[in-house]
Structure 1
Amino acid sequence: MLPTLRLLLAEPNLGLTLLGDPEPAARGAMLERTVEWVHSSDLIDPTPFLSADQVLLTTGTQFGADTAADVDFLPYVQRLAARGITALGFGTEVIRDGTPDALLAACQSLGVPLFEVPYRTPFIAVARAAGDLVAEDRFARATWALKAQRAIALAALRPDGLSATLAELSTQLGHWVALFDVSGTLDRVFPRETFTVTPDALATVQHEARRLLARGQRSSSTIDAGGETLTLQTLGGHDHLRGVLALGGPRALDQASTEVVTSVIALAGLALEQNNALARAQGLLRTGLMHTLLGGDQKLVEQISRQMWGALPVAPVQVAVVDAPAPRRDAITDYLELRVEDSPGQVFFARQDDTIVLCLDRAAHGILVNLCTLFDLHAGVSEPSSYRQLPRALEQAEQGLARAKEGAPGVTEFGVVARQGVLALLARTDAREVGLATLAPVLAHDRVHATELLGTVRAWLLCNGHFGEAAAQLGVHRHTVRTRIQQAEQLLARDLGSFPARADVWAALLATDNAVL
């Protein structure tokens, strides 16, 4: 951090005196202002040559040698205040005896600290003292950064290197440090005992973390939440983000702190990548175990799973199949790994081609819903099943996934598909052309003769073959319906008095989605 005005005024060889008598709180705030550099100028408008946090020294030559009461200092001080200078130093006994009261009044009205520089103290001495303070601070911060990086490097060698590294970073910075996983969920925070972020502020940080992760690129951002300045940085490589590191505290990070954070980001990214390499190996093991489980050897899978991740979900289980786009497949797997840790014995999953297959305890249904919501995925879920019937449950889940893909992202249960009936599946297969070929003679007759045979057939079938009900629905005489059905039978070469013929024609109507009517 830069030296403060307090330190500059306290230099014993300079004899600088802060003027005015501000309230203790205001005086304290003034003295804690940082000093980036000291500049001297007697221009009436020196602001083009100044930057914020600088101290300006002047002898007052720009105001002339008139009495102080004849000078309006307010516009001059307003320009300095707008530029954000730390303080104004007035050199006495050069042009004027003492510091003009009107200048002090203007400074006090705008909150600009004003101090007096005695004649015996050259401006260059003030600038040199400030430069020495800045150099001392930079050296001290550089030394601190080296020590902090060494402590963090040693922490990384501990058994749980990632947690130890983040805990040490929190200690060195005096900030809280939070790690959000690949889904944007808070994974761990240090120090946990003093983490007092409000729920609203945490929600703001989590939203920003998810926004950065959704971009899929390495990036950082700074936000204000709960009265703190928060810094967020993604972890992991390009297009393979592993999480987000968030830091919060009473003050913003300076250059030395930022360098330390950068080194931690590299270490954390490396640790997460190593974890990901291990996760890939575990993923291959999971896939093999899933095939073994589908093959019927539950005992072997149970033994290995218990040692690696915990017990398998207790039967009856539901099988879910989730589409897993390649760009987000690693992130989805990372999310599920974390959920397995959080909910042992409720989820077992494995990759299968372009999908992820899950065996779920009934209590884990919320995990599947959250997964689809978070990553905008489609999923199909089987009916409850024993492990012996797992292949059949997998087929049910795949059928549910096929139906789910017809709509918005979400979960579709096989039970819903089953309740819609077998014939409803015809509208979602390649049976359309067969259906059109079946109905073609009737379609051609209606088109050439402007008849309504096909519409009459549909209404008659919906009325279970009752001529009177169909006639009432169509608004024609029942003999007209009977005549049309007879014509349709001749064209279709089918006896619609038989159930198989009626079912065949009805299936053709469903396969064409009634688009021919």
Structure 2
Amino acid sequence: MPGDERESLDRLRGLQRDAETGGPLRLLGRIAAEIDGHAALFDRNGAPLTPHRGLPDAITGTVRRVRSGGTRSAVEHDGQHQLAAFALSTEPDAPTLALAGPSLDRFTAEPGRTDALRLLALSWRAHHAQERWRRADEAGDQVREAVLHLLIDGGLATAHRTAGALGEPLPDPMRVWVVEVGALERGERDAVAEELLRITGDRAWMIKCPVYSGHLIPAVPPMSHEEERACAAELVATATASTGRISVGISNVLPLRDYAVAYQQAFHALAHARGNAERFATFGRGHDLAAEIAGPGQRWARQVLAGLEEFTPQRPQDPTREELQGTLTSWLMFHQQAARHLKIHRNTLQARLHKIGALLDRDLHRLHDQACVDLALRLRNSGAPEGSGADDLDALLRSDAVRRWAAQLLAPLRESPRLRETVRAWLLADTHLTESAEALGLSTTAVRKRLARAEQLLERSLLHSPSLSYDLHFAFRALNPLG
């Protein structure tokens, strides 16, 4: 093979390699190096689509003449620079390649120019298609996140209509899974999502958690116990092999209207799954404090929430009652992560919490007040009819049913007084590690390790929100009031 043909073939192979590995930007870099100058792509309006630093201002005129003059190319000299512009294809929206450099003849000679333009056009088309798919995926993720907000806030009918826009009906009843991906790269979480869809036969309604970037929180139609365990085990095995360590928490079967409860159950199960050999766990059945006092507690709950439920904004720019209620729900569930969940600035979050606290006469940064408001919301959302009950919380907690509930909740800590005292000190310190460590005379690391051990015994989340801290607060108070 003659030397010039071999050189041409080597150049073409290099262009193909660049197109496959680096896309249009890598190709532009190679072309710029060939002409000892600069290369960039411009859109149909003459605006740059890629970095264009180094190109002279006069290049915009050359590009404009190609776009409007009915010609596919233009090679000019403005007195200081050699300039060139080439239409990548005849499509109206196809970009224009702009060049400036002292060695333009290396590019303009045939057949090298045609090869480069053809590869650049194909590479740009592929890149453009990928970008459109990416934007479509992001739009789909945003719709699914909107459905998540609606489900957590109780907007079931709107959630069904919104999900219907994607052509994927929400499962009802369902289990919520929380899948924690050890690697936080977007592509790896997406790969686990695809694997979960495959394993469940495309039955999972997938949501990517807006709060914890490594979490997936799909709603999955109920399966048999054996099928569910098989799916979870296969997901852990296949995903761990390709992306690293993952863990899976699974809720009980619940109606879709109880999605928020199911999510918290799955989150608690995830805390247990992190420490077991299988790396997956289903929420252990247990009594709910709100269920124990559902009827008698309605009067107390109504009084706790009255200030917020009766609120009417005085100015158009003030947050609505619904916005404040959504903020409160998110804060009680996610705490400082609520700003990320709600897509608002942390200063906006704090301003709303201050407003809500004033309406409720509560300090929403103190555990006791958080627990009371959370319990009141759970009671109001239970839909239980109001029965004869007390206005005083301690009177509600003194019932035999609540004391049995508390004893059952704390039973796993009975054999470890040290862990029980650590949990109690942590609650007394409003779940602040530093203050609880000072009270116990330990390091924060030691307290964290003890709480992680308590998570495994209780099979509930303590260190991350949603946390069991509210129920633990009431359990200790029912058996031996915190002081």
TM-score (norm 2): 0.28
More strand by share: 1
Larger Rg: 1
